[in-house]
Chain A
């Protein structure tokens, strides 16, 4: 293993020379695939990549798998393949598949700004433009509200992803425990803080929090800021719009409030390592009295084996308004956090072959019924009457009076700012970063992406 300086230089020089040849080689081989042709009955494998296993009933793609199972009964040449990829690996997986022209037929992805990278590379289907090619209009299978919210989220004129579920987020609480201990649902932010203090005093962890996913931490900054100055303040600040910036006092105040909740121990110990499944388990086993989470859980909660608490023992409320703020209580109670960061995308190249259109038509025309059958709040048109479970009814009631919906904290941030918001959130929560510093870093990053004019 002796290597002298001279020979090292020689190797590096050789490296550079071969590099030149490398470039010739790789340029030629770019677009040789893609002219696949064949008859309609040729064998086809429909590939899906998702962050949860398709066998898991809570998984977004579970209904897709059910549809495929039914579909291949009549189409023996059609087969499918599901692949589960860890959430934080999906982007890298898709990135690699794009450069090898092998994007799957369908995959789940982080919605919002993250999609831009896929759109730029022309990797996914423009839903507004091309969806109808499968033989059915978008409006005929997706509820208008769901299409609208996709448009709100999109940074483009068109939408490039399909909705997975109707989701809203709020505080789930252990009704039984509340009754036993004489706690009541808070009607103001101040009461909410007092409630947390009381629960902690009683030796129970007030809120379960999956801090390893990071977004559950930033959500508390958003909740407070929105309740002080309105549901769009964080979305505006994310793009330096309407004279909003994360430098505004309101965000420092909100970050301080969120930090205080974590420092007070309302989210227990070691929240930075807690994962979603642990969070649910802690709530369902009574280790924590409440948790902030989304309505996607409803599908699992109809199963008594999972829901050890029992449906009748689970309550739901939207974090209440702040006394003394410019937003009144009524307004705050209708500020639903409609965040569902998962998008369903269709790979463009595979779509263009036309071999999947027939299946896609079958899938989306039956999606509504299929989803509601397994207890998902579906954004798709249904043909049957819906029968809600008690917990689902809570959500339906809430959504019906919802007037001022909003989106998650990072929804409108560029990808660099999103990283900063999420990564630093863990440091903010554990107390090693000050609220001022947190907000300054966010604002600096936003300034770079959206320079103030």
Chain B
């Protein structure tokens, strides 16, 4: 009975893994098919590694520029998010002051606000500051809108840093800044990795914000480029379309696979204990 139950359980897990993986594998394999092969049933394997799809994708979809822009915006925004959230979370969880609960509430409230509630006012704001159509404008918006989630996760993290460590450091003569830089930061690396990864995924995968605030071709972001490429030739040229989709998911996938242990640990620690 026990064994049978376990067998069924295993079957379900394998079934689930297949459902999770198969579409992605199918996507990758299909990106190597020639246009003639798309007439055959969709589940057949490609006959050879046809790389021209990628050449077409890189040239036509302007992947180089899209990647460069997206990378700049994502990385710089992450740095800002990290600075803002790690310091603010520290002030709220570890330091003692009257308004700390209010500040906690105020900053986490941002998590509840759907992005499109802010769209129009943010647009007017960027326009007044002449940041429309620029990567800097996107960085400003992304840094601030991603802040709440990061802040929230980090407060969960810091809460479980034992106060005794800080006390010991203070007794050793550290001031508050050194405590933060020498003790809190090194001890929270897992949390940072999680925050960085989640922020990365959020910004890298965003469509709404980047589509609204940037209109010029040279500052276009990856998902916007992807969406318009699919719209433009998605139905005519399947191979290059699949290649473009693949190219768009590879960075997040790679980053995830490299960091996945830490992310899952970090996510659990921050989310669960918070």
B residues 109-159 with Cβ under 8 Å of A? 109, 111, 120, 123-124, 127-128, 132, 152
Q: Most chain-B Cβ atoms within 10 A of its Cβ — which of A1, A49, A53, A281? A: A1
B124 near A26 with CB under 8 A, answer yes
Contact of A102 with B127 at beta-carbon distance under 8 Å, contacts A83-B217, A86-B227, A281-B236 already known: yes
Q: Is the interface of A mostly helix, strand, loop or mixed?
A: mixed
A1 near B274 with CB under 8 A, answer yes
Q: Does A40 contact B (CB under 8 A)?
A: no
Q: Does A396 contact B (CB under 8 A)?
A: no
Q: Most chain-A Cβ atoms within 10 A of its Cβ — which of B102, B106, B216, B235? A: B235
Contact of A96 with B216 at beta-carbon distance under 8 Å, contacts A1-B274, A84-B228, A281-B236 already known: no
Closest to B237 in A: A277
Q: How far is the CA of A120 from the CA of B233 in the complex (A)?
A: 35
Contact with A along B202-244 (1 / 0, CB 8 A): 0000000001100111000000000110011111100000000
Contact of A81 with B216 at beta-carbon distance under 8 Å, contacts A11-B106, A102-B127, A277-B233 already known: yes
Q: Does B13 contact A (CB under 8 A)?
A: no
Min distance, Cβ B218 to any Cβ of chain A, angstroms: 9
B109 near A96 with CB under 8 A, answer no
Q: Does A3 contact B (CB under 8 A)?
A: yes
Q: Does B108 contact A (CB under 8 A)?
A: yes
A82 near B105 with CB under 8 A, answer no
B124 near A100 with CB under 8 A, answer yes
Q: How far is the CA of A85 from the CA of B225 in the complex (A)?
A: 10
Please give, as numbers and ranges, the residues of chain A lying within 8 Å of B231 by CB-CB distance: 86
A residues 77-98 with Cβ under 8 Å of B? 81-86, 89, 93, 96
Q: How far is the CA of A1 from the CA of B149 in the complex (A)?
A: 11
Please give, as numbers and ranges, the residues of chain B lying within 8 Å of A100 by CB-CB distance: 123-124, 127, 132
Please give, as numbers and ranges, the residues of chain B lying within 8 Å of A3 by CB-CB distance: 105, 108-109
B235 near A281 with CB under 8 A, answer yes
Q: How far is the CA of A96 from the CA of B122 in the complex (A)?
A: 11
Q: Does A275 contact B (CB under 8 A)?
A: yes
Q: Does A326 contact B (CB under 8 A)?
A: no
Min distance, Cβ A8 to any Cβ of chain B, angstroms: 9
Q: How far is the CA of A127 from the CA of B228 in the complex (A)?
A: 31
A53 near B132 with CB under 8 A, answer no
Contact with A along B251-274 (1 / 0, CB 8 A): 000000000000000000000001
Please give, as numbers and ranges, the residues of chain B lying within 8 Å of A49 by CB-CB distance: 215
Q: Does A29 contact B (CB under 8 A)?
A: yes
Min distance, Cβ A293 to any Cβ of chain B, angstroms: 15
B235 near A275 with CB under 8 A, answer yes
A84 near B232 with CB under 8 A, answer yes
Min distance, Cβ A320 to any Cβ of chain B, angstroms: 31
B235 near A278 with CB under 8 A, answer yes
Please give, as numbers and ranges, the residues of chain A lying within 8 Å of B234 by CB-CB distance: 275
Min distance, Cβ A308 to any Cβ of chain B, angstroms: 12
Query: Which one of A1, A82, A86, A278 contacts B228 once the chains associate, using CB atoms below 8 Å?
Result: A86
Closest to B233 in A: A277
A1 near B132 with CB under 8 A, answer no
Contact with B along A37-53 (1 / 0, CB 8 A): 00000000000010011
Contact with B along A272-286 (1 / 0, CB 8 A): 000101100100000
Q: Does A7 contact B (CB under 8 A)?
A: yes
A residues 94-145 with Cβ under 8 Å of B? 96, 99-100, 102
Q: How large is the interface on A (under 10, 10 to 19, 20 to 34, 35 or more residues)?
A: 20 to 34
Min distance, Cβ A277 to any Cβ of chain B, angstroms: 5
Count the A-B residue pairs with Cβ separation under 8 angstroms: how many? 54
Min distance, Cβ B50 to any Cβ of chain A, angstroms: 20
B215 near A83 with CB under 8 A, answer yes
Q: How far is the CA of A61 from the CA of B4 in the complex (A)?
A: 67
Closest to B231 in A: A86
Q: How far is the CA of A278 from the CA of B106 in the complex (A)?
A: 50
B128 near A93 with CB under 8 A, answer no
Contact of A29 with B235 at beta-carbon distance under 8 Å, contacts A1-B108, A81-B216, A82-B217 already known: no
A29 near B128 with CB under 8 A, answer yes
Contact of A96 with B212 at beta-carbon distance under 8 Å, contacts A11-B105, A11-B106, A29-B128 already known: yes
Q: Most chain-B Cβ atoms within 10 A of its Cβ — which of A89, A93, A96, A100? A: A96
Q: How far is the CA of A343 from the CA of B168 in the complex (A)?
A: 73
Q: How far is the CA of A3 from the CA of B186 in the complex (A)?
A: 31
Please give, as numbers and ranges, the residues of chain A lying within 8 Å of B217 by CB-CB distance: 81-83
Q: How far is the CA of A132 from the CA of B45 in the complex (A)?
A: 62
Q: How far is the CA of A83 from the CA of B111 in the complex (A)?
A: 33
Please give, as numbers and ranges, the residues of chain B lying within 8 Å of A83 by CB-CB distance: 215-217
Please give, as numbers and ranges, the residues of chain B lying within 8 Å of A7 by CB-CB distance: 102, 105
Min distance, Cβ B129 to any Cβ of chain A, angstroms: 10
Min distance, Cβ A87 to any Cβ of chain B, angstroms: 8
Q: How far is the CA of A29 from the CA of B234 in the complex (A)?
A: 42
Query: Which one of A11, A29, A89, A277 contacts B236 once the chains associate, using CB atoms below 8 Å?
Result: A277
A residues 249-307 with Cβ under 8 Å of B? 275, 277-278, 281
Q: How far is the CA of A11 from the CA of B228 in the complex (A)?
A: 40
Please give, as numbers and ranges, the residues of chain B lying within 8 Å of A275 by CB-CB distance: 234-235
Q: How far is the CA of A144 from the CA of B108 in the complex (A)?
A: 63
Min distance, Cβ B140 to any Cβ of chain A, angstroms: 16
Min distance, Cβ B219 to any Cβ of chain A, angstroms: 11
Closest to A285 in B: B39
Please give, as numbers and ranges, the residues of chain A lying within 8 Å of B124 by CB-CB distance: 26, 99-100
Contact with B along A48-89 (1 / 0, CB 8 A): 010011001000000000000000000000000111111001
Closest to A52 in B: B232
Q: How far is the CA of A11 from the CA of B274 in the complex (A)?
A: 22
Q: What are 27 of the A-B contact pairs (CB < 8 Å)?
A: A3-B108, A3-B109, A11-B106, A52-B232, A56-B232, A81-B217, A82-B217, A83-B216, A83-B217, A86-B227, A86-B228, A86-B231, A93-B215, A96-B120, A96-B212, A99-B123, A100-B124, A100-B127, A100-B132, A102-B127, A102-B132, A275-B235, A277-B236, A278-B235, A278-B236, A281-B235, A281-B236
**Which 9 pairs of residues, A with B, have the shortest CB-CB distance?**
A100-B127, A278-B235, A277-B235, A277-B236, A86-B231, A275-B235, A83-B215, A29-B128, A7-B105
Interface residues, chain B, with chain A CB atoms under 8 Å away: 102, 105-106, 108-109, 111, 120, 123-124, 127-128, 132, 152, 211-212, 215-217, 227-228, 231-236, 274
